[in-house]
Structure 1
Amino acid sequence: MRILLIEDDALIGDGLKLGLTKSGFSVDWFQEGKLGFEALQSAPYDAVVLDLTLPKMDGLDILQAWRRKNEDVPVLILTARDTLDERVKGLQSGADDYLCKPFALVEVIARLQAILRRRHGHVSPLIEHGMVSFDPVKRLVLLNNEEVILTSQELKLLELFLNNKERVLSRNLIEEKLYNWDDEVSSNALEVHIHNLRKKLGKLFIRTVHGVGYALGKEDEKN
């Protein structure tokens, strides 16, 4: 999951980026409101963590402008504006959730995961496909009820496919979802990760759609 973080406080932003990255998110962090506003057009973000008091452009103005443009990306407001009126205004302006500072990192992560779960229509915290079960919170993968150890990038790739069960994903989209702008990506990295997932979860778990990209195999296919 790729997250857009817009937060001008260097200490808070650094902690959020580090904590979210450790929890399996790819994070792009902007400290200026206008740059953060424009960044939404540059990558397929899954969610936004948005401060309100920002230089150049206020966070509430950013949110309202996105919603006027019918940008439906989920937004978690994270701010020191903690009055009831301000919380109500934020939610009525289109935020999916509102959390006041100071905050606990684990709660930010939990709220993001809840937003994303609703976004993808998952009622249960577990995502299942055939004999594979994935817990996004614990970053735990089971195959036939036995744990499978995946690397952080393999986990991100698995989560991406499980959240897009009916879609064929292009190579470009997959890479944009997996990596942030700071990552250095080798030309064959994606093929290596897909090869490793097939090796660990079954050769038919991910199918190649020639000339288009990749997709999950059918749930009842035998590997």
Structure 2
Amino acid sequence: MQPEKKMKLRRNLIFSSVAALLALNFIIGARVYSDSVKSRRDRLSVYQSLELFSQVLNMIHREYVDADKVAYRDLIYSALRGMVGSLDPHSEFLTPEDFKDLRDDTEGSFGGLGLVVGIRDGFLTVIAPMENTPGARAGIMPGDRIIKIEGESTEKMTLQEAVHRLRGKPGTKVTITIQRPSTGMVRELTLTREVIEVELVRDINGKKEVYR
């Protein structure tokens, strides 16, 4: 092969190699830039969502007619409860008070009525009364529904909210309204809380049931 042709071929190879490297560098650079832009967009989306949340939070707090329902703490906890609860059936946001109740379920003792309760068909329902406790001595039976606590309906209460109201310092009183679906009987009971020793936490068929 003539020297001129060899030189020309070498220049072509060098040019092709440089072009390939430039193209590869461009592709990598474009990918990095795209990822960087996506990351910035994601951060911007988070900030925009938080700004929207803050605007709605302030609007509700400022303009909602029932001021007792719009304390910032309650609104934020409700939002967090909804966010975590939307992940899957097993995820639940716990307030500090809820977490304390959860710890009481598994260790130590507390002031309560000695009832195992859970949510059944949308109602706060007695699963079983513990032997020799205020609930058992009052004649409360499995299947009874606690429809009111201190005159307030339990219809929209979460299990943890109802639990918090049923518990209290031993020796204090709590008034509950019981409905017995089998007979239609409704009665109001005022019970005195006692120290309840935790012996067992039950979970039947994957449904939460806790001593109160």
TM over 0.5: no
Which structure carries more strand by proportion?
Answer: 2
**TM-score after normalising by structure 2:** 0.31
Which structure carries more helix by proportion?
Answer: 2
**TM-score after normalising by structure 1:** 0.30
